Structure 1
Amino acid sequence: MTSETRKRKWDICFDPRTKVLLLIISMIIATTAPSLSYECALILLIAFMGILCGKVRYSIIGTIVFLALYLFTTLYLGNVTGTAYTMFTAWLSLVFKVYPCGMLAGIAVSTTRVNEFLSAMNKAHVTKKVVIPLAVMLRYLPTIREDWHFIKDAMRLRDVSPSLKGLISHPGMTIECLYSPLLMAASKAADELAIASVTRGIENPHARTCLIQIRFRIQDFLIICCFAVMMVVNFIGRGGAI
């Protein structure tokens, strides 16, 4: 048994409905947080969930990036005035609102299989007009990521750097070799995934079957309680700030 197999064995699996609910709670917390300290607490809670799901590297890197932005905001922007202050404040305000939801969405997408998601949404009686686009998206993102790596490998063979430096030094060549093939691959992948989903009976009106039992477990209730407590504390702090 390899180390990767042992790691997956000890990972905690959350119900897909739990992840959707946590995304909604995170959006509420991020948009109503009275200060950056509450958003830092939210990021730490999301990172804790990611570690439980087995996304250790992703959670650590995401937390470090957010803390770096937080330190930049508190240490640098306090001594800046004028146009630079307005520009960075407007940009970072948007980043701080979107970052926690994006980080949690990355964990949810990377740890949720399409069949589990479909079965969970079927149990929740969610309309197929919502479920089918989301199911295609779950399979679409990994496909595009694979195409991205293939395109970068092909660019290196042509001695074109797929980086910001390469874009600045050779913008025309970078766009021709990177963005144009990526857009074509994305369009083709979307059509193929939609056709494959219909072929596999995604529009079947009858109830779906799944080998994995989709149900709420103790870990789902505990993590929902943690996020709910965070939301309550956030509203209490917002009331105190007002």
Structure 2
Amino acid sequence: MNIQYTKIHSGLCTFDPRTKILLLAITVFAATIAPSLRHVWLLVLFITLFGCTCGKAKRSLCHLIFFALFYLLTLYVLSLETGVVYTMFVAWMGLFYKVYPCAMLAGIILSTTSVNEFLTAMNKAHVSKGICIPLAVMLRYIPTIQEDWHYIKDGMRLRDVSLSFKGFIHHPGMTIECLYVPLLMTASKAADELAIASVTRGIENPHSRTCLIQIKFRIQDILVIICFLFLLALNAGEIGGAL
């Protein structure tokens, strides 16, 4: 067991990558048909518990606190009932509640799934390589860009360039030169390097993959799928009752 695997799987339970993808699909449907903010709240709480179980308690709780603050802002805007602020924010807030649970769960999945696990699970599910290879590269690409982002921020601090909106207004040229240009260059370079590294490691090998990690459905996978399906059925039942 390598260091990366220990770091990724530091939670109470480990889940099959196929389970995580299925949970994401269920969350998309549940958030889309959620009949009220109360159901979105319940969905976010489910995702928070799932993240804590996977070992991402700090990230999940931070997302939950941000969601609670945004919910209070929503209640304030809805209390206005009319006005410019109400008109500007009501449609955007509706979109936020559809996207936020999905993005929250996707972040947990990306941070708790290794590329090796993902490819092994996709091979067991007989998924086409044309689908699983781009997804596998994406799993490794996002952490690489995040790491480069931190390096760029450290370099900007050495040059005394602020990343705040105020700093962008005062020195827009310097901010673009020190932030966006290096980020675009590193993103392009990282994409090429990851593609070369993937081919070198045999990602296009037509034979079945071997993996030191045992990928299979366990009791925790079944339980968490049942919980999310129950939430989806609850949302669908509310809509059916309203009709």
Same fold (TM over 0.5): yes
| Contact residue 140 and residue 190 of structure 1 kept, 8 A | yes
Matching residue of 1:239: 240
Matching residue of 2:227: 226
The answer on 1:172 being equivalent to 2:209 is no
Q: Return the TM-score normalized by structure 1.
A: 0.94
| Contact residue 143 and residue 189 of structure 1 kept, 8 A | yes
Partner Cα distance (1:7, 1:184) in 2: 28
Q: Aligned residue pairs: how many?
A: 238
Matching residue of 2:136: 135
Partner Cα distance (1:10, 1:19) in 2: 15
The answer on 1:68 being equivalent to 2:69 is yes
Identity %: 63
| Equivalent residue runs for 1:1-242 within 5 Å | 11-242=12-243
Q: Return the TM-score normalized by structure 2.
A: 0.94
Deviations 1:75-119 (A, max 9, x none): 333214233212101211111111000000000000000000000
CA shift for structure 1 position 11: 2.8
Partner Cα distance (1:8, 1:125) in 2: 25
Moved more, 64-73 or 123-132: 64-73
Partner Cα distance (1:12, 1:100) in 2: 21
| Contact residue 8 and residue 112 of structure 2 kept, 8 A | no
Partner Cα distance (2:10, 2:113) in 1: 16
CA shift for structure 1 position 6: 11
The ranges of structure 1 where at least 4 consecutive aligned residues each deviate by more than 3 angstroms after the TM superposition are 5-10
| Contact residue 50 and residue 107 of structure 1 kept, 8 A | yes
RMSD (Å) for aligned C-alpha atoms: 1.6
Moved more, 37-46 or 158-167: 158-167
Unpaired stretches in structure 1, ≥5 consecutive residues: none
Letter in 1 for 2:70: L
